[in-house]
Amino acid sequence: MNKKIGFLAFAVVFVFLFLSAMYMHPFGEPNEKDMDNHFIEKGQNDTGANNIVTSVVFDYRGYDTLGEATVLFTAVTGVAVAFSMAYGKKKEMKEMSKIVRTVTNILYSFIIIFGFYIIMHGHLTPGGGFQGGAVVASAFALLVISYSALKIKGILKKENFSVSECSGLFAFIALAFLGISTAFFYNFLAGGTVFGNIPAGINPGDLNTGGVIPLMNIAVGVEVLSGIGLIILYMFTYGKEAKE
């Protein structure tokens, strides 16, 4: 009886979604474009960044990015609390074969450098703090998986990651508060001397532009890489004793 009511409710919701998909605007011709036309025409002059999406994320709608950084921080705290209850003795874990360890030795420094390149050039090419932080966290996951977690305990410590995550979030909030004389999240470095040039039109991209956006990219990148590194370390060292 309950299953029949469940199927009926699911069918009603699915038909409603399908009918509303047929009544959407034709694919490729959106209706209201006034706000986005303003961002495309005046974004380069106001903020000084070539990448309009990064300027929308960090300058025009920076308050949403503050909420996103807070949600990531809260999730890392929740995982740490869930796995910190006493779990008993740890079992011995095996490490991977010699081919995997050799390839890891060569590759992991290049992945970390590539991740920092993506973080640093966020205002010129596609990229930014979140994407680069995810790439560097993948390098940490590669290290933890190919050597057993007991050997990595001396190199990647949980306390170092915790300190760098808190300092990254604190630097992001401090940069948002520094322009408070005009507005919260005001870009007070555009037009100045440090990261201050303002480009015009289609140009090859100069690193000295963007105002306060490259500094915010670095702060968010440090926070994301240490937060996701912490999640992977906690789940790797504590997940195995659940089986007897």
* DSSP three-state, residue 209: strand
**CA count, 13 A, side-chain hemisphere, 196:** 6
Judge whether 93 and 148 are in contact, CB under 8 Å: yes
In the complex, the smallest distance separating the C-beta of residue 190 from other proteins, rounded to whole angstroms, is: 15
Nearer to other proteins, 180 or 239 (CB): 239
Nearer to other proteins, 149 or 178 (CB): 149
In the complex, the smallest distance separating the C-beta of residue 66 from other proteins, rounded to whole angstroms, is: 11
At a CB cut-off of 8 Å and minimum separation 6, what does 134 contact? 224, 225, 228
Judge whether 69 and 128 are in contact, CB under 8 Å: no
Nearer to other proteins, 154 or 204 (CB): 204
In the complex, the smallest distance separating the C-beta of residue 72 from other proteins, rounded to whole angstroms, is: 5
Q: CA separation (Å) from 131 to 63, 71, 93, 99, 239? A: 19, 17, 31, 29, 27
Gyration radius from the chain CA atoms:
23
At a CB cut-off of 8 Å and minimum separation 6, what does 231 contact? 75, 76, 79
In the complex, the smallest distance separating the C-beta of residue 181 from other proteins, rounded to whole angstroms, is: 26
In the complex, the smallest distance separating the C-beta of residue 198 from other proteins, rounded to whole angstroms, is: 12
Nearer to other proteins, 80 or 178 (CB): 80
Nearer to other proteins, 106 or 242 (CB): 242
